[in-house]
């Protein structure tokens, strides 16, 4: 397919407001891709590059050559060129990368150059989110939409799902299942403003888990090979040897665990979230080796490799331990400090120790547990993981008991609780009613759109954040206000470096940035305001933490903000 045709589709989708029309445009483009062009072409239609890291920033897109008069590039040509750019490294790499960028852009027409700039800069706002593309894949391949959505949740990779659907139909989609070593989108929790409303949603009896102030981890083990993935499916195995050591000590041969990793002080209380986040920073992390493969290729690999290698960092096996036994945990209290084996493994990093705690088990020794009710998964978890490595959990049959668990979690310095229905299956990638999180304050995960230079004591630092909520209808972001509250000197230094990296326009007062960085904002309410385009503003907004584990596509929506403003939900 000509790259120009894909660029034309992107422009047409951007200019169209009707969902059905967008789906038809995307489906027609998907049908026109050659089999080897589907991974790259489906990524371009989603506004992304197939290659997650290219080494090309804002500065690399300045001084581009004039556009070509006639189109010559195919989708495969562009993908191969970007592969070459991403592979450049070592001495002289900057000049070599600039040369390759110039060659690619010099062969592109004006329309193609506009799309390439948007793809490299992460700013191709065309309203084609994953949900629309799932619909388009189903339409193009003439397969049931539920089959595409489930495959997408299990694979965590739209490119792999599009390839399977368009080349193998429903049968190939059916082969996409939970595979140890390939991360899947985690189940998410909905929000409630109070424990009693959470219990009302789940019913009783319910299970109340401590919500740790750590990072979400998904750990895969097959034999001696272990891989650790983040909430956004990045592979951080090499960064967390203590997690590898803890899972290697477990008696299971093959498993997939869901949990959190957290930095604790000597008393077992959580250290500042930034310490945890810095240990697991995902810039430079890599994807699962099978995450981008089609269902057929992944199945063939798993059939020929009885023990799959996930690229886990070698870690010395810990001393023998007694096998774990099932346990009913008491009312949630502080996590225990890291075990000696975990501390020993972390010692090689010279950094803060991250202690893993697990709350769910998705696969155990050849058996998938995704569709099993929570009580069955959690019983298997208690049989597999020792109590000190489990998230604090208690079964309650009343609002009063749940409130006691909530108070205990807050007293221990944690974020809150997650109230769970023991009947709920594990709904990968969904924020359903089976899990309800309760925090003691209003918070939103928003995207930084721009930053203002500070004055006075903050002179020379980027300080005041422009905050935006995601607009599912347009694919853009709606500004809700500004804040510089809650920023320590360390955060000011970090965010100045971070936002200069993301800068797309540098002014004397305001630096506009690519909308990629998610920040958790606490606030006291939402008020009507004519100052901002959404007609609302956050009251007393302040920074809680930066969310390295979330992408802009996972930020909270303007619809949620409107609901909070109307008093329908809590923050």
Q: DSSP string spanning 540-555?
A: S-EEEEE-TT--GGGS
Find the length of the chain. Answer: 571
Q: What is the DSSP string of 258-326?
A: EEEEEEB-TTSPBPPHHHHHHHT--TT-B--TTTTS-HHHHHHHHHH-SS----PPP-PPPPP-PPP--
Name residue, tokens 């590898």. Answer: 244
Strand bridging mode 431-438 / 188-192: parallel
Active site (catalytic) residues = 211
Quick one: CA dihedral 249, 252, 254, 258, positive or negative?
negative
∠ at Cα 182 (181, 183), nearest 5°? 110
3-state secondary structure of 511: strand
Please report which helix (H) or strand (E) contains residue 563, including its range: helix 558-565
Which secondary-structure segment (H or E) carries 480? Answer: strand 476-483
Whole-number Å distance between alpha carbons of 152 and 143 = 13
d(CA 148, CA 130): 11
Burial of 350 (0-12, 13-18, 19+ CB in 10 A): exposed
């Amino acid at each position: 397919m000509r790259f120009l045709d894909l660029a034309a589709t992107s422009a047409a989708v951007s200019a169209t407001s009707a969902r059905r029309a967008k789906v038809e445009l995307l489906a027609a483009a998907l049908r026109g891709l050659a089999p080897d062009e589907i991974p790259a072409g489906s990524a371009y239609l989603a506004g992304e590059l197939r290659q997650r890291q290219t080494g090309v920033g804002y500065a690399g897109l300045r001084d581009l050559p004039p556009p070509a008069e006639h189109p010559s590039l195919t989708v495969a040509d562009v993908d191969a060129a970007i592969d070459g750019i991403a592979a450049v490294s070592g001495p002289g790499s900057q000049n070599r990368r600039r040369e390759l960028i110039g060659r690619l852009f010099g062969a592109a027409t004006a329309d193609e150059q506009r799309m390439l700039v948007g793809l490299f800069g992460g700013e191709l706002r065309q309203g084609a989110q994953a949900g629309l593309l799932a619909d388009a894949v189903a339409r193009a391949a003439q397969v049931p939409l539920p089959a595409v959505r489930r495959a997408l949740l299990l694979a965590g990779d739209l490119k792999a799902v599009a390839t399977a659907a368009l080349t193998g139909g429903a049968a190939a989609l059916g082969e996409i299942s939970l595979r140890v070593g390939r991360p899947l989108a985690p189940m998410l929790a909905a929000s409630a403003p109070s424990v009693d409303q959470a219990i009302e949603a789940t019913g009783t009896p319910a299970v109340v888990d401590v919500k740790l102030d750590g990072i979400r981890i998904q750990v895969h083990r097959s034999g001696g090979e272990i891989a650790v993935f983040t909430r956004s499916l990045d592979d951080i195995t090499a960064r967390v040897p203590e997690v590898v050591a803890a899972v290697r000590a477990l008696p299971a041969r093959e498993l997939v665990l869901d949990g959190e990793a957290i930095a604790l002080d000597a008393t077992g209380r959580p250290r500042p979230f930034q310490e945890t986040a810095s240990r697991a920073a995902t810039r430079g992390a890599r994807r699962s080796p099978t995450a981008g493969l089609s269902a057929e290729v992944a199945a063939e690999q798993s059939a020929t490799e009885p023990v799959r290698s996930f690229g886990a960092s070698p870690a010395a096996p810990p001393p023998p331990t007694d096998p774990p036994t099932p346990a009913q945990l008491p009312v949630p209290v502080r996590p225990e400090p890291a075990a000696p084996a975990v501390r020993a493994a972390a010692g090689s990093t010279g950094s803060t120790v991250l202690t893993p705690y697990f709350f769910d088990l998705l696969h155990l020794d050849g058996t998938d547990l995704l569709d099993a009710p929570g009580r069955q998964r959690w019983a298997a978890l208690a049989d597999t993981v020792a109590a000190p490595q489990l998230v604090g959990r208690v079964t309650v049959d009343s609002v009063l008991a749940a409130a006691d668990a909530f108070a205990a979690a807050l007293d221990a310095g944690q974020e809150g609780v997650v109230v769970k229905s023991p009947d709920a299956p594990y709904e990968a990638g969904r924020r359903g009613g089976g899990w309800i999180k309760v925090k003691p304050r209003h918070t939103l995960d928003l995207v930084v759109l721009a930053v203002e230079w500070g004055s006075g004591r903050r002179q020379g630092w980027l300080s005041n954040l422009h905050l935006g909520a995601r607009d599912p209808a347009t694919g853009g972001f709606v500004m809700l206000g500004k804040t510089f509250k809650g920023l320590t000197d360390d955060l000011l230094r970090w965010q100045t470096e971070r936002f200069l990296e993301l800068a797309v326009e540098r002014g004397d007062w305001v630096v506009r940035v690519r909308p990629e960085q998610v920040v958790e904002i606490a606030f006291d309410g939402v008020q009507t305001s004519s100052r901002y385009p959404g007609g609302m503003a956050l009251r007393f907004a302040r920074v809680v933490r930066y969310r390295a584990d979330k992408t802009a596509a996972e930020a909270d929506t303007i619809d949620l903000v409107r609901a909070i403003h109307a008093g329908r939900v809590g923050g």
